[in-house]
């Protein structure tokens, strides 16, 4: 059995890549659901590859990973929108940074970029700060929903004979002959021939369980503001010129039609601190308004949130073999989402087959294409009417903000959703402007009816995140 520790974007895509050769692949996730860590709290950008330091591991995998997302989109039915990106120069100092980025693009092998003058830039992005002088435009930059890619990759593993196990926090490892015995917090244990450590923020701690020392990980918090769909702000991803620490507070469209501003970049101590702060959100507002002065933070804000990135002093990915048949994939900070498909291929094609000398042969019965439950609002209206005739639940709207029907909620539950966040990330229900104010009671009731859980047993996400704590009147 091949064990992958961590069901984020990197772990799930590595598991899927291994699964093309070996059926017996297990993904172990410590949390109550997949894609619940670093993967869900980032900018969701597929970067162009021009920003990373030439010669770094990040640079090696970013551009290659960007190209692989066309394949990921087709095979996993994941939405990838190549909206392009601009790095915007607002003053003379910024122009020097643009020149440096162009040099990096050339060294990193990125061909798909242009340097746009003020007129060209403002024609493409009329709401930008009129002081903008120039931009480095990269048409291959894209946006996606990272959790959707993880959900679909995990589904692919299960369809192809593997397993995805949640609430599996690794607490002890014993080497047994040439194998590992993995012990989990819930008392279970498994024997693995090969282990991939893709535990995100906790990859350094997991490595110690195998007796390996890898670069120390510290969390870097990024705070964001999500804006609604009522006003059109930008067409593409808008970056300021980057610093040595961060790519800066950006403004970008989201896949479902909203807009995102942020993130900040603050080194913190706790790997559980997902709080937002008055200071952080004020910084997001001030910096993003410098790029797009028309942003309306007084009336158009949907929500605020924070994500954590696994940083190291080396500021680079760490991907290598440890002691025995264990591979550590660690420090996967930005552009980790972009690099993930390329990292997966590197782990399988080089580290497993070349460095560990494990011969793999592609399976003939592997199912490559994975369908997803379609959002009915995105389907042809006549088709939707036919679906309603076959299943009346398709005509009962549960989430009015994002137009999600009861049929879609029930399909998500059928596919394993048990918490409100499971349903949210599988369907977009409660992701809209009201943030679940109207639909959460309905979703809670549907989960209860479909699973047999009592309403007070239905959680928001992790253990203890109850919605109601006793029997209430009928909902």
- Among 365, 361, 339, 363, smallest CA distance to 352 is for 361
Residue 392, Ramachandran bin (φ over 0: left; ψ between -120 and 50: alpha; else beta) = alpha
CA 80 to chain centre: 12
Q: Are 216 and 313 in contact (CB under 8 A)?
A: yes
Six-digit token string for 28: 């172990």
85-113: burial string, b at 16+ Cβ within 10 Å, e else: bbbbbbeeebeebbeebbebbeebebebb
CA–CA dist 50, 350 (Å, integer) = 25
How far apart (Å, rounded) are the C-alpha atoms in residues 113 and 253? 20
Could you tell me if 241 and 129 are in contact, meaning their C-beta atoms sit under 8 angstroms apart?
no
Tell me how crowded residue 229 is: count the other CB atoms within 10 A of its CB: 17
Residue 113, phi-psi category: left (phi > 0), alpha (psi -120 to 50), beta (remainder): beta
The single residue listed with the structure tokens 């797009």 is: 292
| Residues assigned a catalytic role | 47
- Which tokens in the block code for residue 47? 């970067």
8 Å CB contact between 448 and 454:
yes
Q: How far apart are CA 332 and CA 126, in angstroms?
A: 35
């Amino acid at each position: 059995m091949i064990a992958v520790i961590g069901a984020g974007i990197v772990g799930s895509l590595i598991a899927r890549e291994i699964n093309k050769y070996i059926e017996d692949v297990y993904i172990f996730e410590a949390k109550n659901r997949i894609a619940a860590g670093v993967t869900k709290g980032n900018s969701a950008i597929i970067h162009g590859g021009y920003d990373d330091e030439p010669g770094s591991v990040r640079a090696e995998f970013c551009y290659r990973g960007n190209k692989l997302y066309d394949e990921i989109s087709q095979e996993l039915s994941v939405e990838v929108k190549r909206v392009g990106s601009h790095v915007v120069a607002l003053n003379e100092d910024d122009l020097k940074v643009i020149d440096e980025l162009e040099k990096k693009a050339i060294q990193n092998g990125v061909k798909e970029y242009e340097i746009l003058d003020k007129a060209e830039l403002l024609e493409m992005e009329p709401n930008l700060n009129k002081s903008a002088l120039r931009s480095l435009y990269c048409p291959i930059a894209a946006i996606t929903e990272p959790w959707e890619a993880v959900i679909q990759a995990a589904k692919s593993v299960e369809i192809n004979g593997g397993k995805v196990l949640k609430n599996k926090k690794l607490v002890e490892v014993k080497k047994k002959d040439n194998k590992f015995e993995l012990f989990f917090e819930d008392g279970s244990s498994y024997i693995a021939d090969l282990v991939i450590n893709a535990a995100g923020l906790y990859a350094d701690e997991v490595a110690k369980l195998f007796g390996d020392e890898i670069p120390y990980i510290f969390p870097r918090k990024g705070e964001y503001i999500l804006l609604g769909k009522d006003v059109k702000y930008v067409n593409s991803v808008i970056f300021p010129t980057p610093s040595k620490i961060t790519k800066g507070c950006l403004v970008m469209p989201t896949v479902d039609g909203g807009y995102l501003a942020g993130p900040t970049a603050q080194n913190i101590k706790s790997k559980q601190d997902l709080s937002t702060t008055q200071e952080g959100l004020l910084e997001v507002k001030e910096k993003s308004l410098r790029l797009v002065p028309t942003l309306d933070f007084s009336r158009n804000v949907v929500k605020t949130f924070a994500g954590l990135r696994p940083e190291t002093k080396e500021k680079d990915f760490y991907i290598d073999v440890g002691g025995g048949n264990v591979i550590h994939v660690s420090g996967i900070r930005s552009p980790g989402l972009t690099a993930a498909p390329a990292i997966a291929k590197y782990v399988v094609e080089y580290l497993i087959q070349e460095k560990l000398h494990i011969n793999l042969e592609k399976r003939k019965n592997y199912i490559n294409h994975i369908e997803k439950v379609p959002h009915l609002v995105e389907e042809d209206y006549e088709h939707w009417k036919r679906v309603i005739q076959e299943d009346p639940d398709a005509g009962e709207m549960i989430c009015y903000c994002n137009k999600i029907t009861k049929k879609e909620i029930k399909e998500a539950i059928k596919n394993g959703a048990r918490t409100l966040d499971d349903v949210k990330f599988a369907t977009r229900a409660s992701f809209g402007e009201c943030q679940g104010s109207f639909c959460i009671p309905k979703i809670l009731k549907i989960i209860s009816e479909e699973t047999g859980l009592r309403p007070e047993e239905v959680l928001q996400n992790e253990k203890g995140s109850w919605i109601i704590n006793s029997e209430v009147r009928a909902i």
